[in-house]
Structure 1
Amino acid sequence: MSNELRIDIRDLRYFETIAALKHLGQAADVLHRSQPALTKCVQRLEAELGAALFERKGRGLELTAVGKEFYLRAAKIRETHDRYLSDMKDFIDGSAGKVRVGCGPITADYLLPIICNLALKHAPNVALEITIGTNYFLKEQIRQERLDLIVGVVSNDNEFVTQAFIDDIVVVAARKGHPVFDIASLDLEHLLHYHWILPMPPIESRKWLDNLFASHKLSRPIAHIETNSLPSIHDLIGGTDLLCFLSRLTLDHPKTRGLLQEVELEETTMARQLGITYPHGSLTPATLQLIELLNQHHA
């Protein structure tokens, strides 16, 4: 006998009913099938297994030793089959599955908790896989189909679909007591007298700042330290005379409140929006469900 068994799941269901009722006629009534059809079902199973499953006992049927073992295994197979089909239905309606979420450093403090709470409340069987990084890195992850959704700064390009939820302002900041705050009639050129801690060159806020100085015929700020996550090193900024370019949301966050101060200069005030970014085309139902929950939350 070959080790590979070709058994129809429907035959397993019929077999379970026959075994439970121990009577072919009663099983036929319950299943709304003819007795000959059920007889053929049993014959197919016995032929595939190479062993008898039932033996006659009066007007009824009794399981053989092989039949009893097969009954136990058939039940497990059928239950697993039903569970996986049920899971597939949950996957299709978005109530189960996994969403791979990329999150920027700023939105890790602001939008990410909202997403997690929405998923826990409205889609508890949806698992979230979260990656923290810059938009530059996260967009590349989407291109490689390693992420389903980015929560972070949204940019106006046609490569991805974007939806904005929160307005954000990025400003120059320094520790409280920094010498820059003693300068009267502060201008852009004054800021070049100091070293900076800045985002990496590919990051949009860094590009914007460099272009600002270039547009005023000035040299670019000197980056003494470059990082892909400014919000996470506020203690370093607060303990040095380095200038930085940070979101006002970060300045107002409990972790940094009172430690850093905005260097108020109209030219260095950058407006942007935070929201979600995802690829064009087909999305998993769970991803669509999460996007819908975010839309409803921010409506």
Structure 2
Amino acid sequence: MGYELKIEIRDLRYFETIAELGHLGRAADVLCRSQPALTKCLHRLENEIGAALFERKGRGLELTAVGREFYIRASKICETNDRYLSDMREFVAGSVGKVRVGCGPITADYLLPIICNLVLRHAPNVSLEIMINTNYFLKEQIKQDRLDLIVGVVTDDDEFRHQAFIDDIVVVAARKGHPIFQSGPVKLRNLLEYQWILPTTLVASRKWLDKVFLAHKLHRPNAHIETNSLPSIHDVIGSTDLLCFLSRLTLDHPKTRGMLKEVELAETTMVRKLGITYPHGSLMPATARLIDLLNQHHHAHMATVVGGTPATT
């Protein structure tokens, strides 16, 4: 049956130097230790190993057969120790690790590319695990410790920490040839003459829209289709007479190919913020590093906007 060796890394490092120099005095000078201290180090190692590690050769020292094997193993141990300690320093600095990012459908098009570019440029050894879903679902994932950070709509609740970066305007929209654009000025009640494709009832924008109609003593829009990723099915919106409620960012995005048009109405124009959401308390270093990179990018962007110079990612 084997037994556990009680050997300190310091003694292994001293042993390496002695073995490489083959001389106790020169090793003492290099290590800034006394010769008696190094002699005690060798005695400790030999007592633990149960065999001599060196034998005298003239005025120097030469490794025994056991010593040569022990030197190989000690070198590997010291190298591994250095590597893992170095990795730990990089981990604490946020230079390595994984960040589990939840992303809303809108921010998947607008903020996610910025995040990926920032990580690739400034923290290339940090990996990202990305989940795209609604804010409601993603918050549940944070609660269950399955996500570190959400990039999406920022709310004003105290359950999480929030940082807003950009404004987002959500409006009613339809395909460009929709009959609603042929009937003159549109009023809120006119929107109820058509069926809708809407986010599910748990999504904040859907709740907001329903409240607008109820506040005007009208019934809620009739959702013919419900989805948790409205921006992803713009082709459905563009090929039907369904009304939708989605971000102006989506209307302007190249992927919609100009198919959709805003139904201009003040009552159904919702202003919200896009940014990041993350838990209270301490964060994994890589997550904190990503948040810091996003803040730096945002401040640089704002500075260039104020200065009139185009911002870059």
Indicate whether the TM-score tops 0.5.
Answer: yes
Partner of 2:187: 187
Distance in 2, matches of 1:283 and 1:74, equals 36
**Residue 106 of structure 1 aligns to a residue in which SS?**
helix
Gaps of 5+ in 1: none
Establish whether residue 279 from structure 1 lines up as the match of residue 267 from structure 2.
no
C-alpha displacement of 1:40? 2.1
Instruction: Tell me the SS of whatever aligns to 2:98.
Output: strand
Summarize deviations over 1:227-259 as a string: whole Å, max 9, x none: 111111111111122111110000100000311
Q: Deviations over 1:188-226 (max 9, x none)?
A: 222222221111111100111111111111111121221
Q: Distance in 2 between matches of 1:131 and 1:220?
A: 31
What is the count of residue pairs matched by the alignment? 299
**CA shift at 1:3, angstroms?**
4.0
Structure 1 counterpart of 2:62, one-letter code? E
For residues 108 and 271 of structure 2, the distance between their equivalents in structure 1, rounded to whole angstroms, comes to 19
Q: 1:35 maps to which residue? A: 35
Which deviates further from its counterpart, 12-21 or 72-81?
A: 72-81
Q: Which residue of 1 aligns with 2:206?
A: 206
CA distance in 2, matches of 1:142, 1:64: 58
Q: How does 1:49-198 map to 2 (within 5 A)?
A: 49-198=49-198
Aligned to 2:243: 243
Task: Report % sequence identity.
Answer: 77
Detail structure 1 runs of 4+ shifted over 4 Å in the superposition.
none
Query: Take 2:170 and 2:22, find their aligned partners in 1: how far apart are those partners?
Result: 76
- Structure 1 counterpart of 2:25, which letter? G
**Matched letter for residue 100 of structure 2:** R
How far off its partner does 1:118 sit?
1.5
Amino acid at match of 2:186: L
Amino acid at match of 1:22: G
Match of 2:266 in 1: 266
- Aligned partner letter, 2:73: R
Q: Which whole-Å CA distance do the structure 2 matches of 1:3 and 1:199 have between them?
A: 64
Gaps of 5+ in 2: 300-313
Secondary structure in structure 2 of the residue aligned to 1:184: coil
* Equivalent position of 1:25 in the other structure: 25
- Give the drift of 1:286: 2.4
Give 2:272's aligned amino acid: R
TM-score, normalised with respect to structure 2: 0.91
1-side partners of 2:137 and 2:167: how far apart? 22
Which piece of structure 1 moves more, 126-135 or 153-162?
A: 126-135
Structure 1 residue 88: Cα displacement: 1.5
CA RMSD of aligned residues (A): 1.6
CA deviations 1:19-51 (Å, max 9, x no partner) are: 101111211111111222222222222222233
- Give 1:180 deviation, angstroms: 1.8
Which AA in structure 1 matches 2:288? L
User: CA offset at residue 135 of structure 1?
Assistant: 0.8
TM-score w.r.t. length of structure 1: 0.95
* Counterpart secondary structure, 1:255: helix
Distance in 1 between the 2:10 and 2:171 partners? 66
**1:220: which partner in 2?**
220
